Structure 1
Amino acid sequence: MVMRALVVGGTSGIGFAMACRVAAEASSAAVTIAGRTKPQNIPYSNIDFRPLDASLMCQINQFADAYRSDILQLLNQKLDLLIMTQGVMTTAGRTETPEGVDRKMAIHYYGKQLLIRELLPVMQDHDKIIIVFDAWLGSPDKLHWDDLDLKSRYSLGNAAAHCQSMNDAMVQWFAAQQRQQQADGVSGARRHFVHAYPGGVSSGLWRELPWYLRAVGRVSMGLLGVSPATCANYLLEGVAENAPPREKEELYWSNIDSKGRIIMKKAIWNDEQLKKIADHTWGLIDAASAVRPSSKCVNLLVEEMHAAFASIA
């Protein structure tokens, strides 16, 4: 059976390096990278590209619908590994998408949670789901609980803190939902949910900064950051090494640092906190998805994805 991986945000930087690492480890692996722009050079024949604007919930829903349909119906397979590295570096203030969601928060948080929710039905029982963002700094104390999407209290610092913290909460929420399913005898799944901190990486994100900060970003990342390939190795090896012992303890979530080590003393979110984060997340996502999509959003992905999957089926 072919091992199938999906890397969202895999068109450059850390995501592309992680996709290449997975593709290189097994020639029988089938790796899909998804993002806005197809890489100019894809070095492995077992990597294919799918277009996706991960800031739009409507596109994510259509992408997930097509992906589920294709791998189940055309390929009769399931997804083994889901990696999400999509990110944006900008100093702009709140910038709403056509769906009314701040673009940075849509990319760094909401879109990642929607991808997990929509793709879990086609994932293997022992899969790994990896969110690459900032697994260090999240905490319930950093949230404005009455303004989780920061309609009123938006700042770059608050947006970062909310995305860090809510990603932390949701890996624990998904793990808790899975444990409850096991207890109810509904599912035997042992999926592991990971929030990873990449550290300083010379990934090229500095190019998205204002012109007057690009030189600083380029120099600092060149001096302090590791290569995307090095980061990819640390994170993937860390997940492989640390997930099994935690699962033996019935812990199906992990926060790992830039060397792939478990981050100790992470806050354990209580049931009330997890429910509030999850209810907010799904409520906002479903409301955004209900916004009447433009013709650009409606059919941008589906025909291309079906045709590409049919060609490799």
Structure 2
Amino acid sequence: MPPLRAVVIGGTSGIGHAMACRLASTSPSSSIIISGRTCPSPLPHPDIISFLPLDATSMRSIKSYTTSLAQTQFASSKIDILIMSQGIMSTAPRTETPEGIDRKMALHYYGKQLLIRELLPLLTASARVVTVYDGWLGSPDKLLWDDLDLKRAGNYGLAKTADHCVSMTDGMVQYWATRGQAQAGEDPAGRKRHFVHAYPGGVNTNLLREVLPGYLQGAVKAVGKVVLTSPETCAERLLEGVEVRSEEGEGEGRYWSNIDNKGRTIKGKAVWTEEQMERVARHTWEMVDAALAVGE
């Protein structure tokens, strides 16, 4: 594999960490930045992977982060693959950040869209942009269109929050598939950017154990090794699927894909209308830009 320049948000643990390590091991001349709250110790592949801290629940932190990233080596040699796998497993009720966005929705949805928006100028013309979340269950039919951020009393809940974050991600993947080409320029091989929403399936990470009482964690860990996929296997399947499906989609004139935990195309995904994509995008930028303005 030729050298890659990659940024992996959520790359300090779990699936993101495994994807960063997979890229490093299969392309040893690559340059990879992983980001999250804390640097893993030890830092894997330290000759290839570097760490840049990020609080991915804060829009202002994301804005500062993308500005800093533009001053790294990616200012001159652009990003080939952007992976966003940040997430939390939480049963907490709605909890707003100081910027006025629910913490879970900020991490799972709004922050990822801001990252894409701000990093578009740093992406190569044939970059792969991968959101690891749930490319399976999203649909425009699951949205409360008059309350997309679920602030109205009675609308917020674990299931509905997941519906909205997953579904709006689907819509924005298709949105970026057309809008994201505008700044791309020409790729020497004629390839174009591709935007992917990936479903990882059941993966043996620490997310579930974070919300369980201590006396159950040993059992969950043991069972997880048997019934769940390892992060390393998940990473291998998703990365292969991203590349194969991107090339496949390009041959069809389609620059977005939803893939499953084996890297296969998820069939039957809704193609969003122009109006639906615009409504979600308009809402997203209103929320993000209002958060960025807090404290100014």
TM-score tier by shorter-chain length is over 0.9
Given the alignment, which residue of 243, 247, 250 partners 2:250? Answer: 247
Task: Give me the whole-angstrom Cα distance separating, in 1, the residues matched to 2:256 and 2:272.
Answer: 12
**Structure-2 change in CA distance of 1:214 and 1:15 (3 Å):** farther
Task: Give me the whole-angstrom Cα distance separating, in 1, the residues matched to 2:88 and 2:215.
Answer: 15
Q: State the AA in 2 paired with 1:25.
A: T
Deviation of residue 221 (structure 1)?
3.0
Given the alignment, which residue of 253, 257, 262 partners 1:259? Answer: 262
Q: State the AA in 2 paired with 1:227.
A: S
Is residue 131 of structure 2 the alignment partner of residue 131 of structure 1? yes
**Structure-2 change in CA distance of 1:176 and 1:211 (3 Å):** same
Deviation of residue 284 (structure 1)?
0.3
Residue in 1 aligned with 2:163?
161
Deviation of residue 118 (structure 1)?
0.5
SS at match of 1:65: helix
Is residue 18 of structure 2 the alignment partner of residue 17 of structure 1? yes
Deviation of residue 220 (structure 1)?
4.9
Task: Give me the whole-angstrom Cα distance separating, in 1, the residues matched to 2:279 and 2:258.
Answer: 21
**Structure-2 change in CA distance of 1:111 and 1:3 (3 Å):** same
Deviation of residue 208 (structure 1)?
2.0
Q: State the AA in 1 paired with 2:19.
A: M
- Unpaired stretches in structure 2, ≥5 consecutive residues: none
Q: State the AA in 2 paired with 1:55.
A: T
The answer to whether the 8 A contact 1:10-1:18 is kept is yes
Write the mapping of 1:101-140 to structure 2, written as runs, cut at 5 A.
Answer: 101-140=101-140
SS at match of 1:229: helix
SS at match of 1:261: coil
Task: Give me the whole-angstrom Cα distance separating, in 2, the residues matched to 1:278 and 1:69.
Answer: 28
Task: Give me the whole-angstrom Cα distance separating, in 2, the residues matched to 1:233 and 1:72.
Answer: 25
The answer to whether the 8 A contact 1:96-1:103 is kept is yes
RMSD: 1.9
SS at match of 1:51: coil
Query: Higher helix fraction: Structure 1 or Structure 2?
Result: 1
Q: State the AA in 2 paired with 1:157.
A: A
- Normalising by the residue count of structure 1, what TM-score does the alignment of the two structures yield? 0.87
Deviation of residue 224 (structure 1)?
2.0
Deviation of residue 3 (structure 1)?
2.3
Write the mapping of 1:122-201 to structure 2, written as runs, cut at 5 A.
Answer: 122-152=122-152, 153-178=155-180, 181=182, 187-188=185-186, 190-201=192-203
Write the mapping of 1:66-85 to structure 2, written as runs, cut at 5 A.
Answer: 66-73=68-75, 76-85=76-85
Q: State the AA in 2 paired with 1:233.
A: E
The answer to whether the 8 A contact 2:7-2:33 is kept is yes
Residue in 1 aligned with 2:49?
47
Task: Give me the whole-angstrom Cα distance separating, in 2, the residues matched to 1:47 and 1:107.
Answer: 23
In the TM superposition, what whole-angstrom CA distance separates every residue of 1:220-249 from its partner, at most 9, and x where no partner exists?
533321100000000001111111121011
SS at match of 1:125: strand
**Structure-2 change in CA distance of 1:262 and 1:213 (3 Å):** farther
The answer to whether the 8 A contact 2:133-2:197 is kept is yes
Residue in 2 aligned with 1:204?
206
The answer to whether the 8 A contact 1:91-1:210 is kept is no
The answer to whether the 8 A contact 1:90-1:210 is kept is no
Q: State the AA in 1 paired with 2:8.
A: V
Q: State the AA in 1 paired with 2:62.
A: I
**Structure-2 change in CA distance of 1:6 and 1:136 (3 Å):** same
Deviation of residue 214 (structure 1)?
4.9
**Structure-2 change in CA distance of 1:3 and 1:59 (3 Å):** same
Is residue 229 of structure 2 the alignment partner of residue 229 of structure 1? no
Q: State the AA in 2 paired with 1:53.
A: D
Task: Give me the whole-angstrom Cα distance separating, in 2, the residues matched to 1:217 and 1:53.
Answer: 28
Deviation of residue 292 (structure 1)?
1.1
- Unpaired stretches in structure 1, ≥5 consecutive residues: 294-313
Question: What percentage of aligned pairs have identical amino acids?
Answer: 51
Aligned pairs, number? 287
Is residue 65 of structure 2 the alignment partner of residue 63 of structure 1? yes
Further displaced range: 202-211 or 143-152: 202-211
Residue in 2 aligned with 1:284?
287
Residue in 2 aligned with 1:309?
none
Deviation of residue 178 (structure 1)?
4.0
Task: Give me the whole-angstrom Cα distance separating, in 2, the residues matched to 1:171 and 1:202.
Answer: 26
Task: Give me the whole-angstrom Cα distance separating, in 2, the residues matched to 1:274 and 1:135.
Answer: 16
